[in-house]
Amino acid sequence: MDERLFGPGEGVGDRVFEKCVGLMEKIMTEAAACFPNEVRISLILCNTLLIVWQSIKVTLFTPERNGQKMNVWVELADWQGDSDERPIEQLTVDVTSYFGDEPVSGHQAVSKSTDNLPCKSPCLFAHTIL
């Protein structure tokens, strides 16, 4: 199935999966940072895991014609105030893949990438408070 989706090459599907999960981890970390006073991280106290947080709602959208930029809207899920005053922050995520020092398409990056010569895909986040 990987070959049908991504073309020939050993482990390309695994690399695509790893890149996608890595990008989602970066987005979720950045989304949680949008509301630092409301979203909390877990603590370990006396060998007991204590997690206290307020949920956030994250909406992701990538236009078909602009595959490098993703729009992410982050808002508090359990907002109790006036709906017109609900805080929403927009993140614009820009990802460019590099093979060596050359920018390449995402497809080229994962097809050429190996364990010895991995591709890099740094993310740039731009924040806008709506």
Q: Can you give the pLDDT at residue 113?
A: 67
Compute the distance between CA of residue 14 and CA of residue 11 in angstroms, rounded to an integer: 5
Compute the distance between CA of residue 55 and CA of residue 76 in angstroms, rounded to an integer: 6
Name the maximum alpha-carbon separation found in the chain: 54
How many CA atoms within 13 Å lie on the side-chain side of 129?
Answer: 6
Taking only the tens of pLDDT, the chain with its 130 residues reads 777 766 666 777 787 788 888 888 888 888 888 887 776 544 455 555 555 556 788 888 887 765 668 889 998 888 888 888 888 999 998 888 877 788 887 777 777 666 556 667 766 778 777 6
Alpha helices in 1-130 (DSSP H): 2-6, 12-33, 106-112
Q: Can you give the pLDDT at residue 119?
A: 67
